[in-house]
Amino acid sequence: MKLARDTWLIFQRQLHLLLRNPVWVFVGVFQPVMYLLLFAPLLKPALGAPTQAEAYKIFVPGLLVLLAIFGGLFQGFGLIAELRAGVIERSRVTPVSRLALLLGRSLRDVVSLMTQAVIITLLALLFDLRVFIGDLLLAYLMLALIALMTSAVSYGVALKVKSEDALAPLMNTVAQPVLLLSGILLPLAFAPGWLQGVAKWNPFSWAVDGTRALFNGDIGNDRVWQGLTIIAILAAAGVYWAARQFARSVR
Amino acid sequence: MIETRGLRKSFRSRAGRETKTVEAVRGVDLDVPAGEIFGFLGPNGAGKTTTLRMLATLIEPDGGQATIAGADLLKDPGEVRRRIGYVAQGGSTWDESTGREELVLQARMYGIGKAEAHRRAARALEAFQLAEFADRKCKTYSGGQRRRVEIALGIIHEPKIVFLDEPTTGLDPQSRAHMWDEIRRLRADGMTVFITTHYLDEADALCDRIAIMDHGELVAEGTPTDLKREISGDVVQVGLDVTATGEAEKLLDGEEYVNRLELLDEGGLRLFVDEGATAIPRILRRIDAAGLDLKSIELHRPSLDDVFLTKTGRSLRES
Ligand SMILES: Nc1ncnc2c1ncn2[C@@H]1O[C@H](COP(=O)(O)OP(=O)(O)O)[C@@H](O)[C@H]1O
Ligand SMILES: [Mg+2]
């Protein structure tokens, strides 16, 4: 099928370019490990968790969602560089699928995020985190969908604004409330009622709750399917919208 | 090969609170026959790139229609894409990729299989004398080498028509001459080549036919020779002593082959004639018979700049 073939083509190219640049590979792994080693130890006393393993159960899913959101949201910068180099325009005069131009890139972002996620999970296992493999795979699906959505949206916005100067403040403005209102760093269970009420409108808050439930072995928790459904719908909408930008972008 | 009728495009740009509308292309009718190097000559901002981007399916026209290599631009842009190649003005290669990678990717984006894509890339690298840098990153290439890779990218799928937007802008004279040879080779291979340029000598020397564009409109079209012949004729410049100039003016002003006459400050005359070759002997005879002392005589053929000047009232060199 043409879409699958074209997507694979673009994906391979993007992954190849990513791997060629060792700095990125290093940063991508180094950063989350630092969080895990330097930030997580504060949590056991802060959260009043009985053991370090309990603290990780709360913190690791939050960290992974955080990486998924940010990993995706800032991919647009790379696209603006490609836009400036004329690579996007060159692709757009060929009959290559416009959806593939987006999906190939976003899937690369998903794969690089999943690599980070696996490394972090393995490290956390060393610190006595325990999670069932089935639950873990569902949690990874959630993360993949989040990264797909945020990277697609970031690409779409990049094609619209076409400049780093406009993209940076925009993405920061979006990221900050999303981050604060999702209970990523600390669970919203600690939050006052009004804050919890506001956070209900943040889809990522549902995703974080769902992912935490999965890490807690609580697969039957409503937040799991609710979070997955909300994020899946948003990811589909994001991909659709961003692919349209690829089809019509001017210069 | 290319036929356009009434092609139009305007852009709205915002400057502060005001929105301004720029009519970049205002109704272009073109007929480009197959197998030619067709040149689009015009100053910066004339609308050349915008026209090309419309023809290459990158932006939708506001109005008008076009048929390109037999495919309808508006109804079947997908088919147009398969039949054309397009090389953008500002470059199209990625710093961190190698020339070979770019060529293979490009062929694959046109739906060509992997093995064949590699074969074509190797052939293109050979043909454009790039083989020796094939596996170096594009950022290490010189301007001329990079431009050649980009042209190779534009024709990797063997299109019937290739659009080259200012292919020689920014190149040194040697790379430029080299590029002209490459472009002529494309024509020899049976391709129709549509280039834009703001260089007069390039339009003159390289193109079989040209269209001159200014402010979004075509102001003239034809072969360079025809366009030049159509205007003003030739100019004969006669060098004389300042003292002899007045007498020579009286002698020549009435001659029926002299359309117009100008005095030169440093002495001498400039005569506008239809045909320099026949006018010069007659001018010489008159001057000789009057016993005036001739210092020099020069024949100036009109240039494309004179054509541009006649059609727009401005010189292309200044705009
Ligand atoms: N994307 C755009 N948005 C706004 N104005 C544009 C855009 N592209 C071109 N223009 C304007 O259209 C006019 C024609 O530009 P262009 O086609 O690039 O000319 P040329 O290639 O002959 O130099 C210019 O005034 C230019 O500023
Ligand atoms: Mg231009």
What is the residue-averaged pLDDT of chain B?
Answer: 88
* Residue B94 vs residues A199, B90, B99: alpha-carbon distances, Å: 42, 12, 9
Q: Which residues of A touch B113 (CB under 8 A)?
A: none
Identify the pLDDT of residue B232: 63
The model's confidence at residue B100, banded by pLDDT at 50, 70 and 90, is very high
- As a whole number of angstroms, the distance between CA A241 and CA A126 comes to 41
Domain B2-93+141-224 architecture: 3-Layer(aba) Sandwich (3.40)
Identify the pLDDT of residue B292: 82
Return the ∠ at Cα B166 (arms to A87 and B68), rounded to 5°. Answer: 75
Residue spans per domain, chain B: 2-93+141-224, 232-301
**Which residues have any ligand 1 atom within 6 Å of their CB?**
A 250-251; B 11, 13, 22, 24, 42, 44-50
Inter-chain residue contact A90 with B58, CB threshold 8 Å: no
The model's confidence at residue B318, banded by pLDDT at 50, 70 and 90, is low
Domain that holds residue A108: 2-41+49-247
Identify the pLDDT of residue B99: 95
Q: Read off the pLDDT of residues B206-245 as tens digits, 9 standing for 90 and up.
A: 999 999 999 999 988 999 888 887 776 788 888 888 888 8
Tell me if chain B has a CB within 8 Å of the CB of A17: yes
Q: Read off the pLDDT of residues B107-147 as tens digits, 9 standing for 90 and up.
A: 999 999 999 999 999 999 999 889 999 999 999 999 889 99
Q: Residues in chain A with pLDDT < 50?
A: none
Q: What helix, strand, coil percent values describe chain A, rounded to 5?
A: 85, 0, 15
Mutate to test the interface with A, among B81, B105, B120 (most CBs of A within 10 A): B105
Q: Which residues of A touch B90 (CB under 8 A)?
A: 86
Domain B232-301 architecture: 2-Layer Sandwich (3.30)
Own/partner pairs, B228-232, CB within 8 angstroms, 24+ separation? B228/B301, B228/B302, B228/B303, B228/B304, B228/B306, B228/B307, B230/B307, B231/B302, B231/B306, B231/B307, B231/B310, B232/B272, B232/B302, B232/B306, B232/B310
ipTM of the complex model: 0.87
Is it true that B2-93+141-224 and B232-301 share their CATH fold? no
pLDDT of B319 > 70? The answer is no
Phi, psi of B271 (to 5 degrees): -115, 130
Closest C-alpha to ligand 1, atom 25: B45
- As a whole number of angstroms, the distance between CA B95 and CA B79 comes to 30
Q: Output B299 or A183, whichever has higher pLDDT.
A: B299
Identify the pLDDT of residue B166: 93
Identify the pLDDT of residue A250: 59
Burial B161-177, CB ≥16 within 10 A → b, else e: bbbbbbbbbebeeebbe
Inter-chain residue contact B109 with A96, CB threshold 8 Å: yes
* Residue B304 vs residues A26, A30, B207: alpha-carbon distances, Å: 58, 62, 12
> How far B15 CA lies from chain A's nearest CA (Å)?
15
Q: pTM higher than 0.90 for the full model? A: no
Q: How many CA atoms lie within 13 A of B229 on its CB side?
A: 6
**Which residues numbered 206-245 in A keep a CB inside 8 Å of some CB on B?**
none
How many folded domains does chain A comprise?
Answer: 1
Distance from the CA of B83 to the center of ligand 2, in angstroms?
22
Q: Output B276 or B319, whichever has higher pLDDT.
A: B276
Mean pLDDT of B63-75: 92
- As a whole number of angstroms, the distance between CA A116 and CA A113 comes to 5
Mean pLDDT of B15-34: 87
CB-CB neighbours of B239 under 10 Å: 16
Mean pLDDT of B248-262: 81
Residue A65 CB partners (closer than 8 Å, separation 6+): A142, A143, A146, A182, A184, A204, A207, A208, A211
Q: Which residues of B touch A18 (CB under 8 A)?
A: none
* Residue A162 vs residues A84, A89, A248, B224: alpha-carbon distances, Å: 9, 13, 13, 40
